[in-house]
Structure 1
Amino acid sequence: MSGFTIRRVRPQDLDACHALEACCFPPAEAASRESIATRIARFPEAFLVAEAGGAVVGHVNCGATRKDDITDEAFKALVGHDPAGPNLVVFSLATAPDWRGRGVAAALMARLVAEARARGRGRVLLLCKEHLKDFYRGLGFADGGPSASAHGGAAWREMRLDLG
């Protein structure tokens, strides 16, 4: 990890996280400012940012659930979120374009996984596009195949990392 630090999100990071989300995802897939504000307020424990020179250059955020089905669109707004749930569901992993290829995303995920293990979580679940499955495999995730999710009109794959 060079040139950036990872820390817990702060309320004042809202605008930077929203801008990052908007630049990294198509409009139909990006979380709204309101959704990001809800994630910061309700579950900062699983919302990490990478910071360099005082700027947010990456983030990862999650919800927690007892369910294994992660296709529920309402859950992205933390409807049904259970802070004590054994499963963390990654909503967004984003890295500023000029910081890609520098290990930011991998470092964010490594820290998220380490903290999830330390808190006794059972698994980390996420949806990703086909071209990202090898990235997540490299982080230890298993490919669960195509997802039933149609979030943003895109095709998704289900990825899973068992922590036990």
Structure 2
Amino acid sequence: MIIRQVQPNDLDQLVELENTGFTPEEAATPNAFLNRINTISDTFIIAEENQVIVGYINGPVVSSPFITDDLFHITEPNPSKGGHQSILGIVVHPNYQNKGIASLLLKEFENQAKQKERLSVTLTCKKELIPFYEKNGYINQGIADSQHAGVQWFNLNKMLRVCKKENLK
């Protein structure tokens, strides 16, 4: 298994994989993927085996601790340091699920975020995925404001850095 950053020639495999993990209403479009590849390749990680993409994780760095729906349509370049690392998508091919690949991708994503001094990793997920994320150290923050694809989403996050408080005297 190779873990690497995304490359432009990954687009076709990514779109195919995306459609195994999300409904057509939820799935990122080829144009959205192309935009992410071109704009936030530093936060777009691929799991590959025998030159086949078996999983990925991606998302931009945001200033808010929670995801907003505009992130699914507009991608801005990541700052070099700070902010909150969002996850817009994490998918593992059905033939490779339950082998620890999603957790491996999360750990690599978190490690890269820590190196760039991100405050947290934030995501939205459906109710049935909450136990997976909690097992990986994420905290359920309740129902998200998201209206993406007309689905109920939950906010989850994982703190990466402890914010220093001013000494009050």
Whether these two folds match at TM > 0.5 is yes
Give secondary structure in 2 for the equivalent of 1:50.
strand
Cα distance change on mapping 1:62 and 1:48 into 2, 3 Å: same
Structure index of larger Rg: 2
Residues 46-99 of structure 1 deviation map (CA, whole Å, 9 limit, x = unaligned): 00010011100000001111123412x2212334x3512511110000000100
Gaps of 5+ in 1: none
Cα distance change on mapping 1:37 and 1:98 into 2, 3 Å: same
Q: Spell out the pairing of 1:75-114 with structure 2 (5 A cutoff).
A: 75-79=71-75, 81=76, 83-84=78-79, 86-114=83-111
Gaps of 5+ in 2: 162-169
- Is 1:74 the equivalent of 2:70? yes
Correspondent of 1:119 among 112, 116, 131: 116
Q: Distance in 2 between matches of 1:76 and 1:83?
A: 15
Q: Which residue in 2 is equivalent to 1:7?
A: 4
**What RMSD over aligned residues (CA atoms) do the two structures have, in Å?**
1.2
- Is 1:23 the equivalent of 2:10? no
The number of residues matched between the two structures is: 159
Superposed structure 1 runs of 4+ greater than 3 Å apart = none
Q: Sequence identity of aligned pairs in percent?
A: 28
- Is 1:55 the equivalent of 2:52? yes
Residues 139-158 of structure 1 deviation map (CA, whole Å, 9 limit, x = unaligned): 11111011111211111110
Give the TM-score normalised by the residue count of structure 2: 0.90
Residues 111-137 of structure 1 deviation map (CA, whole Å, 9 limit, x = unaligned): 000110011111110000101111111
Q: Which residue in 2 is equivalent to 1:64?
A: 61
- Is 1:35 the equivalent of 2:9? no
Q: Which residue in 2 is equivalent to 1:152?
A: 149
Cα distance change on mapping 1:141 and 1:57 into 2, 3 Å: same
Q: Which amino acid aligns with 1:117?
A: K
Q: Which amino acid aligns with 2:78?
A: P
Q: Which amino acid aligns with 1:27?
A: P
